[in-house]
Structure 1
Amino acid sequence: MANIILASSSPRRRELLLQLGLHFDTYSPKINEAILQHEPVEHYVERLSVEKANIVLEKFPDAVIIAADTSLEIDQRILGKPKSKQHAFEMWTLISGREHHVYTGVCVQTKQQKLSIVVSTKVEFQQLSQNDMEYYWATGEPIGKAGAYAIQGIAAQYIPKIIGSYSNVVGLPLFETRQLLQTVGALH
């Protein structure tokens, strides 16, 4: 079996990848996550996932690398992780009572092949009151999460509907990741 490395320190991505029955190591590369001027979200998440995979492949050239990046998009704005409580509240105000899209770029790379894909899921978010926001922030869950929420946690109570991949919203679209791994021969 191939030596597989998940290019991430995300416990959610790790848990999702374990669902595929894989044995893997993790290594989290440091990259510049700045958004390029006028960069579409699809390009942004794919670019970051490819950059992460490239860095990790340089360090582990005989491995199969799995890298991903997840962001939200609403009104042609990319929403990443909150930098502060105020930033989280700004994001929630923007998505509150509306639909937004969650995009994850996934790159699976070996010495011989580099495959990448972008998966999109539509998420409907309920209208949040100031009390909802204060309560949710106080849980600590929004910190370090794209869009300042975790669908697999407390935030599930604010999400009446999604259209698309649930695992994509968590941070790693399993169906598509499995297909990429099969293509490079890391899964049968």
Structure 2
Amino acid sequence: MTRLILASQSPRRKELLEQAHVPFQTISSDIEEWTDPALSPGELVVSLAEQKAEAVFRKHPENIVLGSDTVVAIGSEVLGKPADGDDARSMLRKLSGTSHSVYTGVAVIADGKRETFYEKSDVYFYPLTDEEIDAYIRSGEPFDKAGSYGIQGLGAVLVERISGDYFAIVGLPLARTVRVLKEFGVNWQA
């Protein structure tokens, strides 16, 4: 039986698909991500989403596989997940009092069919004091998130406003993803 596989262990992506009542299972891609510095942030997230989806699809070709990836960018500088507290502090100082873009790429692969896209949303941060940055780092939240913050958690207090798809900032542009999945025969359930 054909089923949807989310090629991710991201709790945020799992929660979003569950919120939309989309039936799925998760299988981590466990790949070493390959990046090309010549790619734009949008191209990069689509490439990473495809790499994840393809790795799982190769092992489960009878299924539909969804891969996704998110990066934060200030201009052309991509901010991934922080390596440590100092890296998180550096990223949060860059984001303080300015705007940045969050790119989330999506790849859906099935036998003979492939659909990819990305969403770009702009996020505006309040100016942050060193004390606020240090308190946020002590919370532990920045360490598994692109750009060192999670808008769906405590990081929400850092954000002045957004322009774009909130769910794409969280990690999966939900409404558009659900519509693409429908083209593959996967529907949300009430």
2:92 aligned partner: 92
1:182 aligned partner: 182
Aligned pairs (5 A) from 1:111-130: 111-130=111-130
**Letter of the structure 2 residue corresponding to residue 65 of structure 1:** V
Equivalent-residue separation in structure 2 for 1:54 and 1:33 (angstroms): 12
Equivalent-residue separation in structure 1 for 2:139 and 2:127 (angstroms): 19
Q: Secondary structure at the match of 2:73?
A: strand
Equivalent-residue separation in structure 2 for 1:96 and 1:77 (angstroms): 15
Equivalent-residue separation in structure 2 for 1:75 and 1:22 (angstroms): 34
Equivalent-residue separation in structure 2 for 1:58 and 1:20 (angstroms): 27
The answer on whether the counterparts of 1:2 and 1:186 sit within 8 Å (CA) in structure 2 is: no
Equivalent-residue separation in structure 2 for 1:33 and 1:122 (angstroms): 25
CA root-mean-square deviation: 1.3
How many Å apart are 1:31 and its aligned residue? 2.4
Equivalent-residue separation in structure 2 for 1:110 and 1:53 (angstroms): 10
Q: Secondary structure at the match of 2:49?
A: helix
For residues 25-80 of structure 1, the C-alpha deviation after alignment (integer angstroms, 9 at most, x for no partner) is: 10111223353223211111000101111111111111111110000110310111
How many Å apart are 1:112 and its aligned residue? 2.0
1:5 aligned partner: 5
Aligned pairs (5 A) from 1:36-185: 36-185=36-185
Q: Which runs of 5+ in 1 are unaligned?
A: none
After TM superposition, the runs of 4+ consecutive aligned structure 1 residues lying more than 4 A away are none
The answer on whether the counterparts of 1:6 and 1:65 sit within 8 Å (CA) in structure 2 is: yes
Identity across aligned pairs (percent)? 37
Equivalent-residue separation in structure 2 for 1:168 and 1:76 (angstroms): 19
- TM-score, L = length of structure 2: 0.95
How many Å apart are 1:139 and its aligned residue? 0.4
Equivalent-residue separation in structure 1 for 2:187 and 2:23 (angstroms): 11
**Letter of the structure 2 residue corresponding to residue 89 of structure 1:** R
Equivalent-residue separation in structure 2 for 1:33 and 1:57 (angstroms): 16
Q: How many positions carry a matched residue from both structures?
A: 188
- TM-score, L = length of structure 1: 0.96
Q: Secondary structure at the match of 1:36?
A: coil
Equivalent-residue separation in structure 2 for 1:148 and 1:33 (angstroms): 19
How many Å apart are 1:95 and its aligned residue? 1.0
Q: Which runs of 5+ in 2 are unaligned?
A: none
For residues 101-157 of structure 1, the C-alpha deviation after alignment (integer angstroms, 9 at most, x for no partner) is: 000000111012110001011100111111011100000111110100000000101
